[in-house]
Amino acid sequence: MTEILFFIEVVVAGLLAGTMYSLVALGFVLIYKASSTFNFAQGAMVFFAVLSFVGFMELGLPFVLAFFVTILLMGVVGFFTERLVLQPLMNESEDTVLMATIGLGFVLEGLAQAAWGVEVRRLDLGIGDFPIPWIIESTGLFISALDLTAGLVAATMIIGLALLFKYTKMGLGLRAVADDPGAASSIGIPLPSIMLMVWTAAGVVALVAGMMWGARAGVQFALVDLALKALPVLIIGGFSSIPGAIVGGLIIGASEKVLEVYVGPFFGGGIEVWAPFVLAIFFLLWRPEGLFGEKIIRRV
Protein backbone atom coordinates (compact mmCIF):
# COMPACT_ATOMS: atom_id res chain seq x y z
CA MET A 1 0.00 0.00 0.00
CA THR A 2 2.75 2.42 0.91
CA GLU A 3 4.38 1.64 -2.41
CA ILE A 4 1.28 2.64 -4.29
CA LEU A 5 1.03 5.76 -2.16
CA PHE A 6 4.63 6.55 -2.91
CA PHE A 7 4.03 6.07 -6.62
CA ILE A 8 1.04 8.41 -6.50
CA GLU A 9 3.13 10.90 -4.60
CA VAL A 10 5.86 10.76 -7.23
CA VAL A 11 3.35 11.18 -10.05
CA VAL A 12 1.53 14.04 -8.34
CA ALA A 13 4.78 15.84 -7.55
CA GLY A 14 5.82 15.32 -11.15
CA LEU A 15 2.54 16.59 -12.51
CA LEU A 16 2.69 19.70 -10.37
CA ALA A 17 6.33 20.34 -11.26
CA GLY A 18 5.26 19.81 -14.85
CA THR A 19 2.89 22.75 -14.63
CA MET A 20 5.96 24.91 -14.11
CA TYR A 21 7.31 23.69 -17.44
CA SER A 22 3.88 24.31 -18.88
CA LEU A 23 4.02 27.93 -17.77
CA VAL A 24 7.26 28.48 -19.68
CA ALA A 25 5.94 26.58 -22.67
CA LEU A 26 2.77 28.64 -22.61
CA GLY A 27 4.66 31.85 -23.41
CA PHE A 28 6.28 30.04 -26.30
CA VAL A 29 2.94 28.89 -27.67
CA LEU A 30 1.38 32.35 -27.42
CA ILE A 31 4.02 33.85 -29.65
CA TYR A 32 4.13 30.91 -32.00
CA LYS A 33 0.38 30.97 -32.49
CA ALA A 34 0.33 34.65 -33.30
CA SER A 35 3.38 34.98 -35.50
CA SER A 36 4.72 31.49 -36.33
CA THR A 37 7.92 32.55 -34.59
CA PHE A 38 9.85 30.08 -32.47
CA ASN A 39 10.78 32.41 -29.67
CA PHE A 40 13.94 30.88 -28.28
CA ALA A 41 14.22 33.89 -25.97
CA GLN A 42 11.27 32.77 -23.83
CA GLY A 43 13.65 31.27 -21.26
CA ALA A 44 15.61 34.50 -21.17
CA MET A 45 12.35 36.42 -20.77
CA VAL A 46 11.53 34.32 -17.72
CA PHE A 47 14.89 35.21 -16.23
CA PHE A 48 14.65 38.86 -17.26
CA ALA A 49 11.14 39.27 -15.89
CA VAL A 50 11.63 37.67 -12.50
CA LEU A 51 15.03 39.27 -11.95
CA SER A 52 13.53 42.67 -12.72
CA PHE A 53 10.65 41.91 -10.40
CA VAL A 54 12.98 41.03 -7.55
CA GLY A 55 15.09 44.04 -8.41
CA PHE A 56 12.11 46.38 -8.16
CA MET A 57 11.17 44.82 -4.84
CA GLU A 58 14.68 45.44 -3.59
CA LEU A 59 14.33 49.06 -4.63
CA GLY A 60 11.48 49.24 -2.16
CA LEU A 61 8.44 48.86 -4.38
CA PRO A 62 5.60 46.92 -2.80
CA PHE A 63 4.78 43.49 -4.23
CA VAL A 64 1.79 44.51 -6.35
CA LEU A 65 3.43 47.64 -7.71
CA ALA A 66 6.61 45.73 -8.60
CA PHE A 67 4.45 43.17 -10.37
CA PHE A 68 2.76 45.77 -12.54
CA VAL A 69 5.94 47.72 -13.23
CA THR A 70 7.52 44.48 -14.43
CA ILE A 71 4.56 43.80 -16.69
CA LEU A 72 4.96 47.29 -18.09
CA LEU A 73 8.64 46.59 -18.62
CA MET A 74 7.83 43.36 -20.46
CA GLY A 75 5.48 45.34 -22.66
CA VAL A 76 8.35 47.69 -23.51
CA VAL A 77 10.55 44.67 -24.27
CA GLY A 78 7.81 43.31 -26.50
CA PHE A 79 7.46 46.66 -28.25
CA PHE A 80 11.14 46.89 -29.08
CA THR A 81 11.34 43.23 -30.05
CA GLU A 82 8.49 43.70 -32.46
CA ARG A 83 9.93 46.88 -33.94
CA LEU A 84 13.61 46.05 -34.05
CA VAL A 85 13.74 42.30 -34.52
CA LEU A 86 10.54 40.85 -35.90
CA GLN A 87 9.44 43.53 -38.36
CA PRO A 88 12.74 43.61 -40.25
CA LEU A 89 12.68 39.82 -40.43
CA MET A 90 9.05 39.56 -41.44
CA ASN A 91 9.41 37.48 -44.58
CA GLU A 92 12.56 35.62 -43.64
CA SER A 93 12.67 31.88 -43.12
CA GLU A 94 11.73 30.36 -39.79
CA ASP A 95 15.32 29.34 -39.11
CA THR A 96 16.56 32.90 -39.57
CA VAL A 97 13.98 34.27 -37.14
CA LEU A 98 14.80 31.49 -34.70
CA MET A 99 18.48 32.43 -34.75
CA ALA A 100 17.56 36.07 -34.24
CA THR A 101 15.53 35.14 -31.17
CA ILE A 102 18.55 33.24 -29.83
CA GLY A 103 20.36 36.56 -30.15
CA LEU A 104 17.46 38.30 -28.44
CA GLY A 105 17.74 35.83 -25.58
CA PHE A 106 21.36 36.74 -25.02
CA VAL A 107 20.55 40.45 -25.13
CA LEU A 108 17.90 40.00 -22.45
CA GLU A 109 20.16 37.86 -20.26
CA GLY A 110 22.96 40.38 -20.58
CA LEU A 111 20.70 43.37 -19.87
CA ALA A 112 19.15 41.70 -16.85
CA GLN A 113 22.55 40.89 -15.38
CA ALA A 114 23.97 44.31 -16.16
CA ALA A 115 21.02 46.00 -14.48
CA TRP A 116 20.52 43.78 -11.46
CA GLY A 117 23.77 41.88 -10.93
CA VAL A 118 24.57 38.19 -10.98
CA GLU A 119 24.08 37.03 -7.42
CA VAL A 120 21.38 34.47 -6.65
CA ARG A 121 18.30 36.16 -5.19
CA ARG A 122 15.81 34.59 -2.85
CA LEU A 123 12.21 35.16 -3.71
CA ASP A 124 9.78 34.70 -0.89
CA LEU A 125 6.20 34.52 -2.08
CA GLY A 126 4.95 33.57 1.35
CA ILE A 127 4.27 30.06 0.10
CA GLY A 128 6.58 27.44 1.51
CA ASP A 129 8.12 24.62 -0.45
CA PHE A 130 6.99 22.07 2.13
CA PRO A 131 4.20 19.45 2.32
CA ILE A 132 0.74 20.67 3.25
CA PRO A 133 -0.33 19.24 6.63
CA TRP A 134 -4.02 18.71 5.91
CA ILE A 135 -3.29 16.73 2.75
CA ILE A 136 -0.93 14.48 4.68
CA GLU A 137 -3.57 13.93 7.34
CA SER A 138 -6.42 13.22 4.98
CA THR A 139 -4.66 11.16 2.30
CA GLY A 140 -1.15 10.47 3.51
CA LEU A 141 0.37 12.18 0.46
CA PHE A 142 3.24 14.61 0.73
CA ILE A 143 2.48 17.45 -1.64
CA SER A 144 4.38 20.72 -1.63
CA ALA A 145 2.36 23.89 -1.16
CA LEU A 146 4.43 25.61 -3.82
CA ASP A 147 3.76 22.86 -6.33
CA LEU A 148 0.06 23.07 -5.62
CA THR A 149 0.09 26.86 -5.99
CA ALA A 150 1.94 26.60 -9.28
CA GLY A 151 -0.67 24.17 -10.50
CA LEU A 152 -3.52 26.47 -9.49
CA VAL A 153 -1.83 29.52 -10.99
CA ALA A 154 -1.21 27.69 -14.24
CA ALA A 155 -4.83 26.59 -14.38
CA THR A 156 -6.04 30.14 -13.71
CA MET A 157 -3.80 31.60 -16.38
CA ILE A 158 -4.91 29.09 -18.96
CA ILE A 159 -8.57 29.70 -18.27
CA GLY A 160 -7.91 33.44 -18.35
CA LEU A 161 -6.09 33.26 -21.66
CA ALA A 162 -8.70 30.99 -23.16
CA LEU A 163 -11.45 33.46 -22.19
CA LEU A 164 -9.39 36.35 -23.51
CA PHE A 165 -8.92 34.66 -26.86
CA LYS A 166 -12.49 33.53 -27.12
CA TYR A 167 -14.52 36.51 -25.98
CA THR A 168 -12.56 39.73 -26.49
CA LYS A 169 -12.12 41.71 -29.69
CA MET A 170 -8.36 41.55 -29.19
CA GLY A 171 -8.57 37.80 -28.97
CA LEU A 172 -10.60 37.57 -32.14
CA GLY A 173 -8.04 39.75 -33.91
CA LEU A 174 -5.29 37.57 -32.58
CA ARG A 175 -6.90 34.42 -33.89
CA ALA A 176 -7.35 36.08 -37.26
CA VAL A 177 -3.68 37.06 -37.35
CA ALA A 178 -2.66 33.57 -36.34
CA ASP A 179 -4.74 32.14 -39.14
CA ASP A 180 -3.49 34.39 -41.92
CA PRO A 181 -1.52 37.55 -41.12
CA GLY A 182 -1.89 38.94 -44.64
CA ALA A 183 -5.64 38.59 -44.79
CA ALA A 184 -6.00 39.86 -41.23
CA SER A 185 -4.08 43.05 -41.87
CA SER A 186 -5.90 43.65 -45.14
CA ILE A 187 -9.22 43.81 -43.34
CA GLY A 188 -7.81 46.35 -40.94
CA ILE A 189 -6.62 44.40 -37.96
CA PRO A 190 -3.66 46.33 -36.55
CA LEU A 191 -0.86 43.79 -36.74
CA PRO A 192 1.67 45.73 -34.60
CA SER A 193 -0.69 46.25 -31.70
CA ILE A 194 -1.78 42.61 -31.78
CA MET A 195 1.88 41.58 -31.69
CA LEU A 196 2.54 43.98 -28.85
CA MET A 197 -0.32 42.45 -26.90
CA VAL A 198 0.92 38.94 -27.56
CA TRP A 199 4.46 39.73 -26.49
CA THR A 200 3.19 41.45 -23.37
CA ALA A 201 1.02 38.45 -22.58
CA ALA A 202 4.05 36.21 -23.11
CA GLY A 203 5.96 38.53 -20.79
CA VAL A 204 3.31 38.18 -18.08
CA VAL A 205 3.39 34.41 -18.44
CA ALA A 206 7.19 34.55 -18.25
CA LEU A 207 7.02 36.62 -15.08
CA VAL A 208 4.61 34.22 -13.40
CA ALA A 209 6.68 31.22 -14.47
CA GLY A 210 9.81 32.96 -13.22
CA MET A 211 8.19 33.73 -9.86
CA MET A 212 7.24 30.07 -9.38
CA TRP A 213 10.68 28.81 -10.39
CA GLY A 214 12.42 31.56 -8.47
CA ALA A 215 10.54 30.76 -5.26
CA ARG A 216 11.77 27.19 -5.52
CA ALA A 217 15.31 27.42 -6.83
CA GLY A 218 16.23 31.05 -6.27
CA VAL A 219 16.31 33.72 -8.93
CA GLN A 220 19.44 32.93 -10.88
CA PHE A 221 20.91 32.40 -14.28
CA ALA A 222 20.22 28.66 -14.17
CA LEU A 223 16.57 29.53 -14.85
CA VAL A 224 17.52 29.99 -18.49
CA ASP A 225 18.77 26.41 -18.70
CA LEU A 226 15.73 25.13 -16.84
CA ALA A 227 13.56 26.85 -19.39
CA LEU A 228 15.20 24.73 -22.10
CA LYS A 229 13.09 21.90 -20.71
CA ALA A 230 10.07 23.72 -22.07
CA LEU A 231 11.24 22.67 -25.54
CA PRO A 232 10.48 18.96 -25.17
CA VAL A 233 7.18 20.00 -23.60
CA LEU A 234 6.36 21.87 -26.78
CA ILE A 235 7.36 18.98 -28.98
CA ILE A 236 5.09 16.62 -27.11
CA GLY A 237 2.19 19.04 -26.90
CA GLY A 238 2.61 20.73 -30.24
CA PHE A 239 3.90 24.26 -30.78
CA SER A 240 0.60 25.86 -31.59
CA SER A 241 -1.65 24.47 -28.89
CA ILE A 242 -2.28 25.92 -25.46
CA PRO A 243 -3.81 22.68 -24.12
CA GLY A 244 -0.79 20.98 -25.70
CA ALA A 245 1.59 23.06 -23.62
CA ILE A 246 -0.27 22.04 -20.48
CA VAL A 247 -0.58 18.35 -21.28
CA GLY A 248 2.99 18.27 -22.57
CA GLY A 249 4.22 19.84 -19.35
CA LEU A 250 2.29 17.34 -17.27
CA ILE A 251 3.62 14.41 -19.30
CA ILE A 252 7.20 15.65 -19.08
CA GLY A 253 6.92 16.46 -15.39
CA ALA A 254 5.37 13.15 -14.41
CA SER A 255 7.50 10.91 -16.64
CA GLU A 256 10.67 12.73 -15.64
CA LYS A 257 9.98 12.13 -11.95
CA VAL A 258 8.85 8.53 -12.45
CA LEU A 259 11.89 7.71 -14.58
CA GLU A 260 14.21 9.39 -12.11
CA VAL A 261 12.78 7.52 -9.14
CA TYR A 262 12.30 4.09 -10.70
CA VAL A 263 14.86 3.89 -13.53
CA GLY A 264 17.41 6.47 -12.43
CA PRO A 265 18.99 4.42 -9.62
CA PHE A 266 20.16 1.82 -12.17
CA PHE A 267 22.24 4.49 -13.90
CA GLY A 268 23.44 6.42 -10.90
CA GLY A 269 20.66 9.00 -11.04
CA GLY A 270 20.48 12.38 -12.69
CA ILE A 271 18.73 11.09 -15.79
CA GLU A 272 16.12 13.84 -15.57
CA VAL A 273 18.72 16.05 -17.24
CA TRP A 274 18.23 14.32 -20.56
CA ALA A 275 15.20 12.06 -20.17
CA PRO A 276 12.69 14.73 -21.37
CA PHE A 277 14.73 15.31 -24.49
CA VAL A 278 15.01 11.63 -25.35
CA LEU A 279 11.30 11.26 -24.67
CA ALA A 280 10.74 14.13 -27.09
CA ILE A 281 12.81 12.36 -29.75
CA PHE A 282 10.64 9.25 -29.51
CA PHE A 283 7.60 11.46 -29.70
CA LEU A 284 8.97 13.09 -32.80
CA LEU A 285 9.40 9.74 -34.48
CA TRP A 286 5.86 8.78 -33.63
CA ARG A 287 3.99 12.07 -33.97
CA PRO A 288 6.11 14.95 -35.25
CA GLU A 289 3.34 17.53 -34.98
CA GLY A 290 2.79 16.84 -31.29
CA LEU A 291 -0.32 15.65 -29.52
CA PHE A 292 -2.43 18.72 -30.24
CA GLY A 293 -0.49 20.34 -33.05
CA GLU A 294 -1.78 20.77 -36.55
CA LYS A 295 -0.33 18.44 -39.11
CA ILE A 296 1.81 20.49 -41.42
CA ILE A 297 1.91 19.26 -44.97
CA ARG A 298 4.84 20.70 -46.88
CA ARG A 299 4.66 20.95 -50.61
CA VAL A 300 7.39 21.67 -53.10
Partner 1 sequence: MTSKPVFMSFSKGDIINLIVMMGIGLAVIPLVVQSDYWYSSILIPWLCLSLAAVGQQIVMGYAGQLALGAAGFMAAGAFALFNLELRLPYIPFPVNLMLSGLVAAAFGVLFGLPSLRVRGIYLMVATLASQFFIIWMIDKFGWFKNYDTSGIITAQDIVIFGKPFTSPLEMYLVVLVVVTVLTILAINMTRGSPGRNWMAVRDMDIAAESMGISLLRTKLQAFAISAFFCGVAGALFAFTYLKSMEPVAFDIKLSFRILFMVILGGLGTISGAFIGAAFILLFPVVLNTLGNEVFHGMVDATIISSIELVVFGVLIIVFMIYEPLGMAKLWENLTQKFRVSSAPKTKAQLGRKQET
> What does the binding site for partner 1 look like in residue numbers (CB under 8 A)?
38, 40, 84-85, 88-89, 92, 94-100, 102-111, 113-114, 117-118, 225, 228, 231-232, 234-235, 239, 267-271, 273-274, 277-278, 280-281, 284-285, 288, 298, 300
Q: How far apart are the first and last CA of the chain?
A: 58
Q: Is the CB of 65 or the CB of 278 nearer to partner 1?
A: 278
User: Would you give the distance in Å from CA 213 to the centre of its chain?
Assistant: 11
Instruction: Report, in Å, the least distance between residue 151 CB and partner 1.
Output: 25
Min dist. Cβ of residue 209 to partner 1 (A): 19
Evaluate whether 237 touches 158 at the Cβ level (below 8 Å).
no
140/288 with CB nearer partner 1: 288
Compute the least distance from the CB of residue 289 to partner 1, in Å: 10
Length of the chain: 300
- Compute the least distance from the CB of residue 192 to partner 1, in Å: 17
Nearer to partner 1, 75 or 264 (CB): 264
Report the nearest approach of partner 1 to the CB of residue 232 (Å).
6
Q: Which is nearer to partner 1, 96 or 193 (CB)?
A: 96
Nearer to partner 1 by Cβ, of 129 and 225: the residue is 225
In the complex with partner 1, the residue whose CB is nearer, 145 or 258, is 258
Q: What angle do CA 212, 217, 218 make, to 5 degrees?
A: 90
Supply the minimum distance, in Å, between the C-beta of residue 121 and partner 1.
14
Q: How far is CA 174 from CA 44, 120, 166, 232, 271, in A?
A: 24, 37, 10, 25, 39
For partner 1, which is the closer residue by CB, 27 or 105?
105
CB of 221 to partner 1, least distance (A): 10
